[in-house]
Each structure stands twice: as C-alpha cells, then as structure tokens.
Structure 1
C-alpha cells in the first residue's frame, strides 16, 4: 500500500480560510472544493491546535511562562524605553533613522532599519510624520489590479 507523502510527516500551517486556491473564473463552490479541507488528503490529517502563546516564553529568559494566574511582570531594559513623552513617534523615528534626511539616496541605510508597528493606523502616523519633514511637493501614485481595455 502506498503511504501519503512517502511516509514523511508534513505540517500544514495557517488559516486555510485565508489561503484559498486560485481558480480562474471559479465560483465560491469551486474554490471551496479545491481547498485542502475538501481534499482526499484531509481524511488523513490530524488537526492540532496551539494553546500556549510560545512567543511569551521567549521573553525574560523563558521565565514568563511560569505565571499561573496569566499575569506577567516583564522588565523592559532602560535603553529600550521611550522617555520623550511629548513626541514619542518623533523619538522612535530619530532613534531608528538618525539623520535620515542626509541619507535619502542611500538604499543600504534604509535596508538595515525598520520600525515595527502594531496597526496600519500607527504606520500611517509614522509615515505622515516622516513625510512632513521632507522638502518638495508630495505626489500620490495610483495603481490598478486590472488593465483598462481601452
């Protein structure tokens, strides 16, 4: 008897509702029928669910997962704290991108730095703050997901 995947263990990860196959000119039922959940393979799959946030275990030398009540005290090193309460966004920008106006043409400068933000709203605030300091006229470029037939 042939074994699936040559007997190797295969791990599928993610939310399968968000990783749908592309079926050209397919209807909803065509896409659902082509998804992993509808495959003959699905009968041989064991679904495992994560119950512990393992990212928290990496903080504080692994001590964070030891709390029994779900409340954690995490000490943030002083050099990582933003102490400028008047302009915290400006402080983040000047820390991550010191003298960024002098490095506008330097790709390597920007490739080595990034600001991670929790939401798109915060990303927009940071972008707006950085754009305000640039000289010249702002331009917006539009894109399209399809070609205009004319």
Structure 2
C-alpha cells in the first residue's frame, strides 16, 4: 500500500548515504504483499491516480526480482477464499457497479452501529480478554485499514 514515490525517496536516500549508484544503494530490499490486491492510498484520488502510485509504475520496477510464494497458507485452510482471490486477481469476479466487486457474505460483518465493531473484534480476536498478552496469539491476527483514524481507539 506504499506510494511508489516513498520507495523512490528511499532509493535516493540509500544512494546518497552509501555513495553507491545501484538501486537502494546496493542494499537488498524485501517487499511483501500483492500489489494487485491492495492499491496505495491516494486521498480523494481517481482510479488512474491510485494505479499511478503503484510501485509497478516506478522506474525501480525494472530492477525488482519477484520471488513468488510456493504455498499460500490461507488457501490451504480456506479454498473458497483462495478461489475468490484468484477470480479477483484474474479479473474474473463480476462487477456489481463500475469497478466494484461484491465481497462474499461470509467475509462481511454488516454495519449496524457500534456493536458491529465489537463483532469484528470478537471474530478476529476471539477470547481477547483472556489471551491478549500471548504474543503467538496476537501475531497471527490483524485488522487492516488504510487510515489510522479508522482504528483510533477511544475509551
């Protein structure tokens, strides 16, 4: 979800610091994720602006070596979700409006007010009160959102 200009700035910074005119100053950079699934956030940006912000539009893309994962752990445990992701990736999931796809009901918690947030947290972090300080429990779970204000916790 990082804007390509951030990678380009990091590249320039590494080149300046190291004095080495190689991508990222000759340092190995490891990037994770699937740029086809998560576009960079461009506030109030158009689809074209979001696509332009992707690292694939950077000159750095020519020197990036892609090492695909051999096993998708989620796909092994949830083949229906894996099939859905493949249909989205390949452009085979039907659109419901413009460029929008319908998220399967099994992946959605309908918004009906503040209790929906509690339901989301309970589904991602079941038994949180009893096990919140167990690092192995926390490391396997996440709620991802593109904006910090969406996850601001107030008590």
Give the shorter-chain TM-score range. 0.3 to 0.5
Indicate the structure whose relative CO is greater, using CA pairs within 8 Å and at least 6 residues apart: 2
TM-score by length of 1: 0.43
Larger Rg: 1
More helix by share: 2
TM-score, normalised relative to structure 2: 0.42
